[in-house]
Amino acid sequence: MSGSGTEPRSDPYAVEAAAARAGLVRLITMGGGLTDTRWRAAFAEVPRHLFVPVYYVGVAGGYERRAADHPDPERRDEWLRGAYADSALATYVRHGELVSSSSQPSLMAEMLAALRVEDGDEVLEIGAGTGYNAALLAHRLGDERVTTVDLDEEITGPAREHLAAAGYRPLVVTGDGALGCPERAPFDRIMATCQLPSVPPAWVAQCRTGGLILTPLATGLVLLRVTGEGRAEGRFLSTPAYFVRLRSAAPEGESDTEAGPASEERAEVWAATAELPREALRDERFHFLRTLSAGTLDPRGAYELWRAKRRPHRSRFGVTVDGDRQWAWLDAPDGPHRWPLPARD
């Protein structure tokens, strides 16, 4: 199913981009993704390069700009190749800080598959970014069934333009993603493409019973099913995932460089972490456990649990949301290994 049927603008890169998209789809398919032909068609037809007319790649000392409007044809070719590489692209850098990006396509494909959308579903996306993921959803479900939210007009404005250029017109809302979009609720599916410390209660309230919420948490992706009013529960997917933080997630005034007891506590945590064996520090599974249990288990406690449970994979972990309480757990929601997640207003 395509979007609104709006005719996309003339595209001077249409032929080369179509070939590049076909190559990207082959790559993702060879890796085991895009088993659903409808998502395969979406990735084959939605032109990612129209959503990333400018992006940045990391270089020594900062970022290098790549753009469709570069005067050098070879640099324009480099830009187009990068647009269809299976990698995340930094798309908005402010004062040296990454604010928005376009996620790795194979990870996007895995997330969309995990969301298990059905014809007629209403979907809310938190983190509009470039608009590319919203376009994939609109291709599958239709424009009118997709809503995407981001905090700044500096992001949502270009996202609308990219979507229109590609022929899609889902609703793009400028607002705090942590609050969802109550005027369009209820939703059948909610997915976030930004990092959070916990699950905003507004999402659970705005998702129908039986609906699914997919969100990054710690260094993974947790898939929750809403089981009743204010309640949701589910496990982490097996894949690691790293996203730009939802900026409204940090309490006002919080800073990584603030002085006082908080910074002293962080220094103690880093010192304790540095004492751990290299086998733990190099293991991504330990990093996930350490991040998920931060504030409850010190690094040494996390390490002992990690060893005792034989280096548990992230799919053994889950999250329960019950009203104003939520916690992460290992193996079972009511088991002995549980950690409260930060409360939200």
Strand extents, DSSP E, 80-141 = 89-94, 97-102, 123-126
Q: Which of 128-132, 256-260, 269-273 has the lowest mean pLDDT?
A: 256-260
Per-residue confidence at 275, pLDDT binned at 50, 70, 90?
confident
pLDDT of residue 147 exceeding 50, the answer is yes
Residues in CB range of 276: below 8 A, 6 or more apart:
299, 300, 303
The CA distance from 232 to 131, in Å, is: 28
Residue 244 has pLDDT above 60, yes or no: yes
| Bridge partners, 146 (sequence order) | 123
User: In which band, very low, low, confident or very high, does the pLDDT at 260 lie, cut at 50, 70 and 90?
Assistant: very low
Instruction: Give the span between the Cα atoms of 81 and 21, in whole angstroms.
Output: 10
Q: Taking residues 17-32, report their average pLDDT.
A: 97
Amino acid identity at 305: L
Annotate 198-210 with DSSP letters as a single string: S--HHHHHTEEEE
Place of tokens 């976030």: 192
pLDDT digits (tens, 9 = 90+) for 57-103: 877 777 789 999 999 999 999 999 999 999 999 998 777 777 788 99
> Beta strand 338-340 with 325-330: parallel, antiparallel or unpaired?
antiparallel
Give the bridge partners for 344, in sequence order.
none
Token couple for 270: 């880093």
- Say whether 293 is catalytic: no
Cβ count within 10 A of residue 267? 10
Nearest partner of 247 among 196, 199, 208, 307, judged by Cα: 196
Q: Which residues contact 315 (CB under 8 A, 6 or more apart)?
A: 235, 236, 237, 238
Residue 255 in this model has a pLDDT that exceeds 80 = no
Of the pLDDT bands very low, low, confident and very high (cuts 50, 70, 90), residue 114 is very high
Stretch 178-196: mean pLDDT: 96
Residue 243's pLDDT is 86
Give 202-237 pLDDT, tens digit per residue. Answer: 999 999 999 999 999 999 999 999 999 999 999 999
Look at residue 245 and tell me whether its pLDDT is greater than 50. yes
Please, which residues have CB within 8 angstroms of residue 170's CB and are 6 or more apart in sequence? 3, 134, 135, 137, 138, 143, 144, 145, 146, 147, 148, 163
Where are the domains positioned within the chain?
255-340
In the chain, the amino acid numbered 149 is: V
Torsion sign over Cα 281, 284, 285, 288: positive
CB 33 within 8 A of CB 106: yes
Please list the residues that pair with 172 across neighbouring strands: 148
Q: What average pLDDT does range 318-344 have in this prediction?
A: 93
Which range (93-102, 168-177, 331-340) has the least confidence?
93-102
> Helices (DSSP H) in 142-283: which residue ranges?
153-166, 201-205, 261-274, 278-281
* Cα–Cα distances in angstroms (integers) from residue 271 to residues 265, 266, 267, 299, in the given order: 10, 9, 6, 9
Mean pLDDT of the chain: 89
pLDDT at 274: 66
Cα–Cα distances in angstroms (integers) from residue 123 to residues 66, 145, 209, 342, in the given order: 32, 6, 14, 26
Percent of the chain predicted with pLDDT > 70: 88
* SS3 category, 170: coil
Determine whether 138 is exposed, middle or buried from the number of CB atoms within 10 Å of its CB (0-12, 13-18, 19+).
buried
Q: What is the pLDDT of residue 6?
A: 53
Question: What is the rounded CA–CA span in Å between residue 25 and residue 19?
Answer: 10
154-163, 247-256, 311-320: range with lowest mean pLDDT: 247-256
| Segment 111-136 mean pLDDT | 97
Confidence band, pLDDT 50/70/90 cuts, at residue 269: low
Of 4, 10, 100, 293, catalytic: 100
Residues counted in the chain: 345
